[in-house]
Amino acid sequence: MRISTLFIFLVLISTSCIEPSKDTEVLWDQYGIPHIYAQNPDDLFYAYGWAQAHAHGDLLLRLYGQARGRGAEYWGENFLNSDKWMWTNGVPARAKQWAVEQINPNKSMLESYIVGVNDYVAKHPENISDDFEVVLPITMEDLMAHALRVLQYTFVISPDDLQEDAKSWSDQKGSNAWAVSPSRSASGHAMLVANPHLFWGDLFTWFEVHLNLPDVNIYGASLVGSPALGIMFNEHLGWTHTVNAHDGADLYELTLADGGYDYDGVVRPFAVDSIELHIKEGDSSRTETLVVKRSIHGPVVKEDEKHALALRVAALDASQIFTERWNMALTTNLEEFEASLQDLQTPMFTVMYADKSGNILHLFGGQTPQRPAGDYDWSGGVPGNTSTTLWNDHHPYEDLPRVLNPESGWLQNANDPPWTTTFPEEIDADDYPSYMSPRKMGFRAQRSARMLDEDDSISYDELVEYKFSTRMELADRLLDDLLDAASTARGQEIKDAVRVLERWDRTADNASRGSVLFKTWVDDMEFPGDFALKWNEHSPTQRPDGLKDRSMAVHKLFGAAKEVKEKYGRLDVFWGAVFRLQRDSLDLPANGAPGDPYGVFRTSYFYPGKDNKQFIVAGDTYVSVVEFGDSIRANGVLGYGNFSQPGSPHRTDQLQLYSDKKLRPILFYRHDVEKNVVATTAF
């Protein structure tokens, strides 16, 4: 890459007083994980920015360019919808505001991170693609815009959520999380499992990192582009997140009138902005004008001749999210940890926590709007013609569903509501507003709870085994009915299918035979409508169950058997022969399946490819299992590796572990790190 002389000069001038001290170093282990050691936070975050740019430089710069709302200007038409989403929601303007609101010492740490990114690119232009030069230099506004794009406008609400007729990918934005107390742990120590499920790439990419100061040892992972850890443990405690069943945004239905909209019986004008977007086309570009209308509720995101939908999103004032995340990382006990969360600067997410003192905590986190009373469908469209539906504040920390040290000794979340985090239930949904969270429990969450509830003394190794479980909870609810209904069928095709399913181990492991047939059958059914017994909140882990129409189910099994035989030549084809892990030159058997409807805890989501094979695109990403004993015991894996830069061996060096359902040791103590150093970056 040819970085301009002017850019290098500007970077060197602007950073001459921010260069880290000479005793700052990054020790890189064999999996490309940076173990950063520094004497103060500014030096630590400088090296953090440097390390992220080294591992993910191209992706990092692209994400910042998109957060600016200038992706189409830089790289063409494919980024235009992303740009429109940023400008429609006012991300560039709010990013400027957030940048101004940063205060020291956090501001200085963020500035150091930014300098680290810019310094790396200036000093190692050969490692960065030419396509991304235009984004440089990175600024504080870019960090803020990226945070807004990822949190508010991807997790809280995304463009897919507004496309009623389009396939929503929201199911792939999930996670598993477990916390086990000493009363349930075989060792007598608390344990924590972190297991986000996201797309394999783009803004969902995790970066594993180890941050060390003289009196601080922090290990975890952040999403690329962010200096804030999303998952973390230190010597005293740890926490992780799941995407919670949280509603932090509302669509208001506006009635258009006289160029404005009706509000409390008066026509109110829109605030209108015209934004000129540039779209790169080869060596030239064209322009397109985006007209953004804003109501008192928020920007208009959909409109016809008579009506419009305006979007209102919570936590747009949460500019201190980076301060909150760093404070969380520095805490040493439960009291400090909960104090660090009081301002609710993270807009959503379940918090799952465990510590060395044996405490475990589940918090339904984020800013949930304090919505007005009334018979409104807050999950759909809300009348926007009256001020009685407009909310302006959120529930404080003490209002949120929270479970501390439950009687059961375990906590779980698999993107289900907080009411089902443990059994016997510790909190009652009736004690909270109906909009706080829905009442439901999917099969993945039921499988999650079942594994913990059925083991009175869980060892560390058992916890790892359960984490990788691919058993299909759905099969346990349906297979006996199906086999019984098909047992009297006379056709050879059905008899062969029954024989395969009788021998099947009910998992989606690499070598499972029968799972492809079962999945093909399920995909042709229409659940939940085809269940005999529907889900009931009074027996949340036992329903739904059984087949409503057994003869129809057998007919569908005949069709599934025919399809599998035609595609793969045999009914008992290996799961891993059909479902694959493919990255660069590696092509390996996969395991796991979508969490729902199949009820698999080890999630993998696939996309159809050539030769009737399917390839992973989402699912398990970063996994860590931590035990808080006298010393920390931790193992983990990051399936797609800790680097995204083309040509890096760390793009694929953990893929075999993923295929084999194995973890690698997490190097938390310096003496273990030093035994595994393959490269050192000294500043």
- pLDDT over 50 (residue 289): yes
Q: What is the mean pLDDT of the chain?
A: 94
The pLDDT assigned to 380 comes to 87
Q: Which residue has the tokens 């229409």?
A: 526
| Contact in structure between 256 and 267 (CB atoms under 8 Å) | no
**Section 600-606 average pLDDT:** 97
First to last CA, the chain: 23
pLDDT digits (tens, 9 = 90+) for 459-486: 999 999 999 999 999 999 999 999 999 9
Please report which helix (H) or strand (E) contains residue 89, including its range. Answer: none
Which residues have CB under 8 Å from 437's CB, separation 6+? Answer: 244, 245, 246, 247, 364, 401, 417, 418, 419, 429
pLDDT digits (tens, 9 = 90+) for 12-43: 444 444 667 679 999 999 999 999 999 999 99
- Tell me the whole-structure pTM to 2 decimals: 0.94
Q: Write the DSSP string, 93-130.
A: HHHHHHHHH--TTHHHHHHHHHHHHHHHHHH-GGGS-G
**Section 371-387 average pLDDT:** 94
CA count, 13 A, side-chain hemisphere, 673: 21
* Residue length of the chain: 683
CA dist 76 → 87, 278, 365 (Å): 17, 9, 38
| Contact in structure between 146 and 68 (CB atoms under 8 Å) | no
What three-state secondary structure class fits 516?
helix
> Band of the pLDDT at 171, cuts 50, 70, 90?
low
- pLDDT over 90 (residue 591): yes
Supply 374's token pair. Answer: 């009334």
Supply 44's token pair. Answer: 């630590």
The DSSP letter of residue 631 is S
Supply 219's token pair. Answer: 């290990």
The pLDDT assigned to 166 comes to 35
Q: How far apart are CA 223 and CA 432, in angstroms?
A: 32
For helices 492-503 and 473-486, angle between their N-to-C axes, nearest 10 degrees: 140
pLDDT digits (tens, 9 = 90+) for 258-279: 999 999 999 999 999 999 999 9
The pLDDT assigned to 172 comes to 55
Domains within the chain, CATH numbers bracketed:
5-171+668-682 (1.10.439.10), 175-247+317-467 (3.60.20.10), 249-313 (2.30.120.10), 473-591 (1.10.1400.10)
Percent of the chain at pLDDT exceeding 70 = 95
- pLDDT over 60 (residue 169): no
